[in-house]
């Protein structure tokens, strides 16, 4: 199983040590998985202040 990481900065979920979206550090300690397809319609996405579609973590330590 691939261990996914999450960016501390933008909450992007990735396999990389450095986030490919913002270049920030990613960590393995994160909780909650959020998949945002439509940022305009997604209430959860708005709450999490997500502006671009993609995979995100809800909580990153
Ligand atoms: Zn990032």
DSSP bridge pairs for 30: 60
Burial environment of residue 5 by CB neighbours within 10 A (0 to 12, 13 to 18, 19 or more): buried
pTM beyond 0.95: the answer is: no
Question: How far is it, in rounded angstroms, from Cα 6 to Cα 60?
Answer: 7
CATH of domain 5-60: 2.20.28.90
Dist. CA 29 → ligand 1 center (Å): 15
Dist. CA 8 → ligand 1 center (Å): 7
The domain locations on the chain are 5-60
pLDDT of residue 1: 65
Element (H, E) at 43: helix 43-47
Dist. CA 1 → ligand 1 center (Å): 22
Is the pLDDT at 40 greater than 90? The verdict is no
Average pLDDT value over all residues in the chain: 90
pLDDT of residue 22: 95
């Amino acid at each position: 199983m691939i261990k996914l990481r999450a960016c501390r900065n933008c909450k992007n979920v990735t396999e990389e040590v450095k986030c490919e979206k913002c270049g920030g550090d990613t960590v393995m300690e994160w909780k909650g998985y959020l998949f945002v397809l439509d940022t305009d319609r997604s209430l959860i996405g708005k709450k999490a202040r997500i502006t671009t579609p993609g995979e995100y973590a809800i909580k990153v330590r």
